[in-house]
Structure 1
Amino acid sequence: MPEILQISQLGNPVLRRQSQVVDNIQDSRIQQLIDNLISTVQQAHGVGIAAPQVAMGDRLFVLASRPNLRYPQAPTMEPTAMINPRIVASSTETVKDWEGCLSIPGIRGLVPRSRSIEIEYTSRDGELHQQELTDFVARIFQHEHDHLDGIVFLDRVENTRELMTEDEYQQQFVKLL
């Protein structure tokens, strides 16, 4: 049965470590971790979560975009485990948009990201997938992929004036929707 895992917070060294390639996708520990990540991200009203955020060093994350309290305009997609993911190509066009993070509660920042990316990952059933992601889902992928390399969104904010509290973000942007 899946469990809700504790989310590591900014300052925890696990968030700054390079994650390790998953060799045995069918290992019961990896499969249980995927189930736990899905339960954890849904309970926390997130749109993605990476293994390092729950103190695991595996190179995997879950994309789970859906409208919720933190992202009311998010597109709906089935939670998808992405194992050993990589960005194959990125558009030269970048877009700045507001990001938050379950490991950095209470803060949002304007982060530049590629508008579209070509990716490759292995699914939990061992199948290799290649696809193009755009806009919000591409942003989630890039955010979670950064976690696998010990990078948090604050590292990508270009100016501290492009930070705000979650409460202020909710007042300024979400209430307008």
Structure 2
Amino acid sequence: MIYPIVAYGNPILKREAEEINEGEDIKELIKDMFSTMDNASGVGLAAPQINKGIRLFVIDSTLMVDESDEEKGMRKVFINPIILDEYGDDYSFEEGCLSIPELRAEIIRPEKLTLEYFDENWNLKEEEFTGLTARVIQHEYDHLEGILFVDYLKGLKRRMVKSKLLDISKGKIATDYRMIYPVK
């Protein structure tokens, strides 16, 4: 099943997501989230973006790396993740979001993180991620905390995107995927 993506302005995007009960069968939901992300040509998708307020996200950072890159991306699911540490040099990278189409901004984040999470078989993992994969995880993790990449924008940059965000919330945007708009 391919879910519609929740657009900017929907309150679920600003709420902290709830933990999933350990052992709960969510394999079908995970499959559907990958299908939804792929359909929208995304590199990550958090459950709140499909109107589910639970701590779950999927990523496919293989789409962001070239064959010549040292870093190899990964296609992975994260259940009830907890960032244990973020470290390394801060670097700027242009981010976008399926819930905020046609808007991108340079966001500064640390280059590495250590994450504790459950995989799709409810195996507890602790793993270090770096580079673009770490960035995708940080972005999707923010969704679980009710934070959007535009929340990092300040001052003039924030004011410059305000009307675009309002248009998105009203559905005045064209996408190649279905969306749910809070205001019509």
Is TM > 0.5 for Structure 1 vs Structure 2?
yes
Q: Residues 92 and 121 from structure 1, CA distance in 2 versus in 1: closer, same or farther, beyond 3 angstroms?
A: same
In the aligned structure 1, how far is the partner of 2:49 from the partner of 2:21?
A: 20
Alpha-carbon shift at residue 25 of structure 1 (Å): 3.5
Is 1:122 matched with 2:115? no
Matches of 2:61 and 2:80, distance apart in 1: 19
1:48 and 2:44 aligned: yes
CA–CA distance in structure 2, aligned partners of residues 96 and 39 of structure 1: 29
**Per-residue deviation, 1:77:** 3.9
Report the counterpart of residue 100 of structure 2 in structure 1: 104
Alignment match, 2:35 = 39
1:24/1:41 Cα in 2 relative to 1: closer, same or farther (>3 Å)? same
In structure 2, relative to structure 1, the CA distance for the partners of 1:159 and 1:76 (3 Å cut) is farther
Give the aligned partner of residue 153 of structure 1: 149
Question: May I ask how many residue pairs the two structures share in their alignment?
Answer: 158
Task: State how far apart, in whole Å, the 2-side matches of 1:72 and 1:127 are.
Answer: 27
Q: Which amino acid aligns with 1:128?
A: L
Look up the SS of the partner of 1:80 in the other structure. strand
Unpaired runs of at least 5, structure 1: 166-177
Could you say what secondary structure the match of 1:87 adopts?
A: strand
Number of the residue aligned with 1:12: 10
* Greater relative contact order structure (CA < 8 Å, 6+ sep): 2
Contact 2:14 2:147 in 1 (8 A): yes
CA RMSD of aligned residues (A): 2.2
Shift of 1:96: 1.0
CA distance in 1, matches of 2:116, 2:154: 28
For residue 90 of structure 1, report the CA deviation from its aligned partner.
1.0
- Which residue of 1 is the match for residue 138 of structure 2? 142
Identity of aligned residues (%): 36
Indicate the residue corresponding to 2:175 in structure 1.
none
Asked if 2 retains the 8 angstrom alpha-carbon contact of 1:51 and 1:60, the reply is yes
Q: Distance in 2 between matches of 1:102 and 1:132?
A: 25
Residue equivalent to 2:173? none
Measured after TM superposition, the shift of residue 160 of structure 1 is 4.4
Which whole-Å deviations, capped at 9, do the CAs of 1:107-149 have from their partners, x for residues lacking one? 0011011111111110010111111111111100000000001
CA contact (8 A) 1:94 1:114 kept: yes
Return the alpha-carbon distance in structure 2 between the equivalents of residues 76 and 5 of structure 1: 28
Note if 1:61 corresponds to 2:30: no
